Structure 1
Amino acid sequence: MKKLLLTCAAILLTIAVNAQTGYQVGDLASDFNLKNVDGKNISLASHKSAKGYIVVFTCNTCPVSKAYEARLEALNKMYAAKGYPVVAVNTNDPVASPGDTYAKMQERAKEKNFSFAYLEDPDHVYTKKYGAMRTPHVFVLQKTGKGNEVAYIGAIDNDQQEANPQRDNYVQNAVNQLLKGEKPSVTSTKAIGCTIKWKKEVSK
């Protein structure tokens, strides 16, 4: 019984620790250097004229991510020229999710004619660092004198099926407010989507 209680306590502690990982609004997000579908490595700093970034952790295979591809494209076309480009990062381990290999990413980007960077993070280094838990999961960053400050975390909007013209466009509203020099009125929402397909730990 004591062993069972200790095991349960350890599980609860792990859950609590995992729940606290990742960035919160106001934190400074680290840059990354990841391979884009065009074969070149891309960092946030690669966007020299950026005022900030719409970083979205996503994938090829999640139905929710697929449902938002056109809206990500629209966000990039709407805001890249204004200083807030979309930077997409594939979160999934390509072994656990064969539809998320680098080659499949290239196919998807070509098929959908993505105008934004689509990067691979096969070892989940930045997926974990940022604290992404679902696909898609968005982090709107504002470039400041201190670094890239997290201004918004969560969902793109509250309408997965794109059926409600009155939907709350969280990312769009956040970026519009940042461009006006204001803080977003909504800084955090719940990301709704598929769970990330994590790399299996190899037992030693």
Structure 2
Amino acid sequence: MKKLLLACLNILLATAVNAQIGYQVGDLASDFNLKNVDGKNVSLASYKNAKGYIVVFTCNTCPVSKAYETRVEALSKMYAVKGYPVVAINTNDPVASPGDTYEKMQERAKEKGFSFAYLLDPDHVYTKKYGAQRTPHVFVLQKTAKGNEVAYIGAIDNDQQEANAQRDNYVQNAVNQLLKGEKPALTSTKAIGCTIKWKKEVSK
């Protein structure tokens, strides 16, 4: 009986730990310093006049990420001038996903005319730190006196294939409310997309 109780307790503890992986709404997100497709390193601090950030964990190869590229670009055009630049981070290991090499990222950015930074996270350091699970997975950050506070986590909208003109634009709504000095009414949704292609652990 004691063994059974201990096993149940371990399962509950593991579930609780897994549920808390990555940032939650209200947490302060750490900055990063990652290589952009133009060869220069970019951090959140690079955007001196930012009021916040739209951080999009994405990749080259996921069909869902590809379906959202135009909308991510639209977010960049819409909000960079208002103080909320888009910063995209490629989550995928290029060995596990050859279409996600740095060179392929450069090709994709040029082909699609990205106006936003597209950064490489080669060892998944910030993918794991933020808690991104899918591509795309968005974290809207608000710049505060305390630091970059997570204001929204989840999907861009509820329309993967851009087929619904009446879709709920979660990220747009969140940023618009922040720009008005309000907290987002909806702070989290489920990110729908491809699983991240993690680097294989080298056995010792």
Secondary structure of 2:114's aligned partner: coil
User: Relative to structure 1, is the Cα distance of residues 146 and 11 closer, same or farther in structure 2, using a 3 angstrom cutoff?
Assistant: same
* Distance of 1:18 and 1:69 partners within structure 2: 30
* Distance of 1:115 and 1:154 partners within structure 2: 22
* Distance of 1:128 and 1:165 partners within structure 2: 33
Letter of the 2:46 counterpart: S
Give structure 1 regions of 4+ aligned residues with deviation exceeding 2 angstroms: 6-19
Q: Which runs of 5+ in 2 are unaligned?
A: 1-5
TM alignment of 1:1-204, pairs within 5 A: 14=14, 16-204=16-204
2:3 is matched with: none
TM-score scaled by structure 2? 0.93
Secondary structure of 1:89's aligned partner: strand
Secondary structure of 1:189's aligned partner: coil
User: Relative to structure 1, is the Cα distance of residues 12 and 111 closer, same or farther in structure 2, using a 3 angstrom cutoff?
Assistant: farther
1:17 positional shift:
2.7
* Distance of 1:93 and 1:14 partners within structure 2: 26
1:123 positional shift:
0.3
Q: Which runs of 5+ in 1 are unaligned?
A: 1-5
After superposition, give the CA deviation of every residue in 1:3-45 in whole Å (9 maximum; x if it has no partner). xxx9999788655533321000000000000000000000000
Letter of the 2:70 counterpart: A
* Distance of 2:129 and 2:160 partners within structure 1: 26
* Distance of 1:145 and 1:47 partners within structure 2: 16
Identity of aligned residues (%): 89
1:85 positional shift:
0.4
1:59 positional shift:
0.2
User: Relative to structure 1, is the Cα distance of residues 152 and 164 closer, same or farther in structure 2, using a 3 angstrom cutoff?
Assistant: same
Secondary structure of 2:161's aligned partner: coil
* Distance of 2:85 and 2:10 partners within structure 1: 41
User: What is the aligned length?
Assistant: 200
* Distance of 2:75 and 2:171 partners within structure 1: 9
* Distance of 2:8 and 2:62 partners within structure 1: 31
After superposition, give the CA deviation of every residue in 1:123-145 in whole Å (9 maximum; x if it has no partner). 00000000000000000000000
Superposition CA RMSD, Å: 1.8
1:51 positional shift:
0.2
* Distance of 2:141 and 2:86 partners within structure 1: 11
* Distance of 2:11 and 2:101 partners within structure 1: 31
After superposition, give the CA deviation of every residue in 1:169-200 in whole Å (9 maximum; x if it has no partner). 00000000000000000000000000000000
TM-score scaled by structure 1? 0.93
Secondary structure of 1:53's aligned partner: strand
* Distance of 1:99 and 1:7 partners within structure 2: 42
